[in-house]
């Protein structure tokens, strides 16, 4: 299939949304994002559903299981499968989390990498190999975390910058993750943003989170985006321009109309940034 | 060369997540924050297992089910990156893992039966070229590739809160995805299972398969078997288990 790069505002592709989307994709939604771990290698109705939309809209491939910072050997078979899946659906961007997700087996969730020189080098080598196999630069996403692994030798901003520089990869900026971490660890979100290699930003995530009774924020993607996160997105656009941005919603999925209202906010912020730049 | 320090942390962290009640929390990690991970990760796994195995869960009850889920997460190493294959890993654990918890004798087969629905629903297999109206007796038969045959010792398709078998009863089931993408279950007898087996292994016409069965059964009346075979093949075509004949 012809390559279709994503631009503008997009929405996470979910089973629950397929029927309403078939009835009509809202104007504001210019692309979709999916996790290859949930959709590649499927037959039947699921395969036909993805094809129906990938023939009409760009898709971004956002991975979950690669475990870029993990101790187990890099899953090259997974990467080759992802590559053919991306070709099949005209996808041009693959991003993964800057995290690890298993020991000698999968744990199936995203865990924080210790911020050390050796961990950075380890992760860079794996990113390079992944890029060799995919034949393209990949984006790495700043992750949310609840534990700061002990023994850090650098700040997270320095860690991410080193990896993007040494790995010659792209930055996938998640503004909700910055906000969640800034609240849970008491740092300034804007200062953190400015410490990132923003010039390498290829893609942006925005999402909602859950607040526990004791005030801890959990990155659930299960609620509406809060105002401070919209502000952070706006601040990011002022620095990097209207980079393609996806609304992630994975739990408590409301109707399409409600989600579209949030995608429209992304689109409006992008338009405003374009106009400011032009003025 | 020993593993770098960051990997020692990862191993300790993973050990604790797999078995939070029996392994120490990694040094320097606050209890409140560790609890977030323990809960998130285990809930993620149980979400996949609960969705795939509702009958298994109901029949052994919540406490035993969760204990089994935990033992799976703690003891089994899943190497698949695909989330939908977590239930298949659970099946492998039930069949190959060391499980100390007593479970009903039919439990692993029931789990396999429940998993088959998910497996067939998402099976990736192109539909081979075929003539949907072809003569099933005289042309090689084309089976629907989106199918699984389950050969069970227990009558898994009848097990439920009202029926927990005490004695084994050999049961063969075909699970397949029909033209409307719906998953269907059909219980078959051993002769029908043999018939399907033959059609699956090599290009075979209905007549060839029936005559072979006639030989295997030392049946005295081939005509009777041909009539019986034709009826079954026509039914399977109507149900979508047989697509037609080779072109």
Which residue ranges make up each domain of chain A?
A: 9-278
Q: Give kind and range of the element (H or E) at residue A96.
A: strand A94-97
Instruction: Give the B window 9-28 contacts with A, CB below 8 Å.
Output: 9-11, 13-15, 17-18, 26-28
Question: What is the predicted pLDDT for the residue at A45?
Answer: 86
Helical ranges in A204-255 per DSSP H: 227-240
Share of chain B above pLDDT 90, in %: 94
pLDDT range class, residue B4, cuts 50, 70, 90 = confident
Average pLDDT over residues B81-100: 97
The whole-chain average pLDDT of chain B stands at: 95
Q: Which CATH number does the domain B126-247 belong to among 3.90.930.50, 3.50.50.60, 3.40.50.300, 3.30.360.10?
A: 3.90.930.50
- Number of helices followed by number of strands (H, E) in chain A: 10, 12
The CATH topology of domain A9-278 is TIM Barrel (3.20.20)
> In angstroms, rounded to a whole number, what is the distance separating the alpha carbons of residues B73 and B20?
11
Q: Judge whether A65 and A37 are in contact, CB under 8 Å.
A: yes
Question: What is the predicted pLDDT for the residue at B94?
Answer: 98
Instruction: Please write the tens of the pLDDT for every residue from A61-72.
Output: 999 999 999 999
Helical ranges in chain B per DSSP H: 5-18, 31-52, 54-60, 62-75, 86-96, 107-122, 190-201, 206-217, 222-239
Instruction: Give the A window 205-264 contacts with B, CB below 8 Å.
Output: 214, 216, 218
Contact A105 B82 (CB under 8 A): no
The alpha-carbon gap from B77 to the nearest alpha carbon of chain A, in Å, equals 5
Contact A109 B29 (CB under 8 A): no
Inform me whether the C-beta atom of residue A70 falls under 8 Å from chain B C-beta atoms.
Answer: yes
* Residue B97: pLDDT over 80: yes
Chains A, B: CB contacts within 8 A come to 116
> In angstroms, rounded to a whole number, what is the distance separating the alpha carbons of residues B171 and B184?
16
* Residue B1: pLDDT over 80: no
Question: What is the predicted pLDDT for the residue at A134?
Answer: 98
Bridge-based pairing of strands A94-97 and A139-141 is parallel
* Residue A238: pLDDT over 80: yes
Average pLDDT over residues B152-177: 96
Per-residue tokens: B146: 């989106």
The whole-chain average pLDDT of chain A stands at: 97
Which residue ranges make up each domain of chain B?
A: 1-103, 126-247
Share of chain A above pLDDT 70, in %: 100
Residues of A in contact with B123 (CB under 8 A): 43-44
Q: Judge whether B41 and A154 are in contact, CB under 8 Å.
A: no
Average pLDDT over residues A264-272: 98
> In angstroms, rounded to a whole number, what is the distance separating the alpha carbons of residues B63 and A259?
37
Q: Return the bridge partners of A63, or none.
A: none
> In angstroms, rounded to a whole number, what is the distance separating the alpha carbons of residues A106 and A78?
13
* Residue A219: pLDDT over 90: yes
Q: Nearest to residue A32, comparing CAs of A91, A88, A85?
A: A91
> In angstroms, rounded to a whole number, what is the distance separating the alpha carbons of residues A222 and A209?
6
Q: What are phi and psi of A155, to 5 degrees?
A: -75, 165
Contact A146 B121 (CB under 8 A): no
The alpha-carbon gap from B114 to the nearest alpha carbon of chain A, in Å, equals 18
Inform me whether the C-beta atom of residue A43 falls under 8 Å from chain B C-beta atoms.
Answer: yes
Per-residue tokens: B231: 């009826």
The alpha-carbon gap from B149 to the nearest alpha carbon of chain A, in Å, equals 18
How many angstroms from the chain centroid is the CA of residue B202? 24
The CB-based long-range contact list for B210-218 (8 Å cut-off, 24+ gap) reads: B210/B137, B217/B191
> Which residue's structure tokens are 């929405």?
A11
pLDDT range class, residue A190, cuts 50, 70, 90 = very high
Q: What pTM was estimated for this model as a whole? A: 0.93
How many angstroms from the chain centroid is the CA of residue B53? 11
Q: For the packed helices B107-122 and B31-52, what is the interaxial angle rounded to 10 degrees?
A: 80
> In angstroms, rounded to a whole number, what is the distance separating the alpha carbons of residues A33 and B124?
21
Q: Give kind and range of the element (H or E) at residue B186.
A: strand B183-188
Question: What is the predicted pLDDT for the residue at B143?
Answer: 97
Instruction: Please write the tens of the pLDDT for every residue from A10-55.
Output: 999 999 999 999 999 999 999 999 999 999 988 888 899 999 999 9
Instruction: Please write the tens of the pLDDT for every residue from A81-116.
Output: 999 999 999 999 999 999 999 999 999 999 999 999
Q: Which of A66, A106, A118 sits opposite B78 (nearest CB)?
A: A106
How would CATH label the architecture of B1-103? Orthogonal Bundle (1.10)
- What burial letters (b/e) apply to A110-137, b meaning 16+ CB within 10 Å? bbbbbbbeebbebbbebbeebbebbeeb
* Residue B70: pLDDT over 80: yes
> In angstroms, rounded to a whole number, what is the distance separating the alpha carbons of residues B81 and A105?
9
Bridge-based pairing of strands A94-97 and A59-62 is parallel
Question: What is the predicted pLDDT for the residue at A169?
Answer: 98
Question: What is the predicted pLDDT for the residue at A43?
Answer: 86
The alpha-carbon gap from A68 to the nearest alpha carbon of chain B, in Å, equals 13
Question: What is the predicted pLDDT for the residue at A2?
Answer: 85
> Which residue's structure tokens are 């979508």?
B240
Average pLDDT over residues A207-235: 97
> In angstroms, rounded to a whole number, what is the distance separating the alpha carbons of residues A154 and A158?
6
Bridge-based pairing of strands A217-218 and A210-211 is antiparallel
CA-CA distances (angstroms) from residue B242 to A65, B121, B144, B179?
A: 37, 17, 5, 11
Q: Nearest to residue A139, comparing CAs of A1, A267, A246?
A: A246
Q: Which of B3, B36, B80 sits opposite A146 (nearest CB)?
A: B36
Instruction: Give the A window 122-181 contacts with B, CB below 8 Å.
Output: 122, 146-147, 149-151
Q: Nearest to residue A53, comparing CAs of A98, A92, A1?
A: A1
Three-state DSSP at A94 gives strand
The alpha-carbon gap from A266 to the nearest alpha carbon of chain B, in Å, equals 29
Residues of B in contact with A116 (CB under 8 A): 4-6
* Residue B199: pLDDT over 80: yes
Question: What is the predicted pLDDT for the residue at B2?
Answer: 67
pLDDT range class, residue A279, cuts 50, 70, 90 = confident
Q: Judge whether B146 and B123 are in contact, CB under 8 Å.
A: yes
DSSP symbols for A97-144? ESSEEESSSEEEEEEPPP--HHHHHHHHHHHHHHHHHHTS--EEEPPP
């Amino acid at each position: 299939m012809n390559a279709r790069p994503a631009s503008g505002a997009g929405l996470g592709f979910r089973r629950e949304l397929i029927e309403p989307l078939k009835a009509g994709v809202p104007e504001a939604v210019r692309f979709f994002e999916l996790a290859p771990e949930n959709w590649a290698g499927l037959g039947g109705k699921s395969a036909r559903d993805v094809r129906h939309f990938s023939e009409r809209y760009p898709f971004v491939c956002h991975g979950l299981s690669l475990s870029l910072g993990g101790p187990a050997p890099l899953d090259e078979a997974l990467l080759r499968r992802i590559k053919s899946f991306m070709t099949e659906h005209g996808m041009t961007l693959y991003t993964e989390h800057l995290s690890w997700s298993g020991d000698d087996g999968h744990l199936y969730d995203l865990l924080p990498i210790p911020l050390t020189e050796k961990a950075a080098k380890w992760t860079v080598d794996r990113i390079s190999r992944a890029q060799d196999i995919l034949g393209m630069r990949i984006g790495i996403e700043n992750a949310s975390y609840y534990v700061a692994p002990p023994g850090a030798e650098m700040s997270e901003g320095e860690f991410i910058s080193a990896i993007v520089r040494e790995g010659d990869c792209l930055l996938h900026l998640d503004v909700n993750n910055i906000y969640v971490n800034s609240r849970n660890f008491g740092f300034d979100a804007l200062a953190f943003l400015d410490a990132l290699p923003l010039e390498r930003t290829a893609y942006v995530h925005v999402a909602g989170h859950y607040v526990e009774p004791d005030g801890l924020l959990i990155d659930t993607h299960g609620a509406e985006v809060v105002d401070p996160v919209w502000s952070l997105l706006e601040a990011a656009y002022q620095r990097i321009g209207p980079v393609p941005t996806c609304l992630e919603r994975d739990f408590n999925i409301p109707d399409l109309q409600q989600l579209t209202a949030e995608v429209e906010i992304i689109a409006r912020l992008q338009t405003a940034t374009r106009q400011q730049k032009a003025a | 060369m020993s593993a770098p320090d960051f990997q020692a942390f990862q191993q300790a962290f993973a050990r604790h997540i797999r078995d939070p009640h029996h392994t120490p929390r990694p040094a320097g990690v606050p209890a409140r924050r560790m609890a977030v991970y323990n809960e998130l990760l285990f809930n993620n796994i149980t979400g996949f297992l609960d969705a795939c195995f509702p009958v298994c869960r109901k029949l052994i009850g919540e406490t035993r089910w969760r204990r089994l889920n935990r033992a799976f997460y703690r003891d089994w190493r899943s190497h698949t990156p695909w989330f939908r294959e977590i239930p298949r890993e659970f099946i492998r654990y039930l069949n190959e893992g060391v499980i100390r918890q007593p479970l009903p004798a039919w439990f692993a087969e029931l789990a396999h039966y429940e998993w088959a629905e998910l497996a067939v629903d998402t099976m990736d297999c192109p539909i081979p070229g075929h003539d949907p109206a072809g003569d099933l007796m005289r042309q090689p038969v084309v089976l629907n590739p989106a199918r699984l045959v389950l050969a069970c010792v227990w009558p898994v398709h009848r097990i439920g809160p009202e029926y927990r078998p005490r004695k084994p009863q050999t049961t063969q089931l075909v699970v397949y995805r029909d033209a409307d993408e719906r998953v269907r279950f059909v219980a078959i007898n051993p002769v029908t299972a043999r018939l399907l087996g033959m059609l699956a292994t090599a290009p075979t016409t209905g007549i060839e398969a029936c005559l072979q069965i006639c030989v295997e059964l030392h049946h005295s009346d081939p005509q009777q078997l041909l009539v019986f075979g034709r009826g079954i093949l026509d039914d399977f075509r109507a149900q979508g288990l047989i697509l037609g004949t080779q072109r």
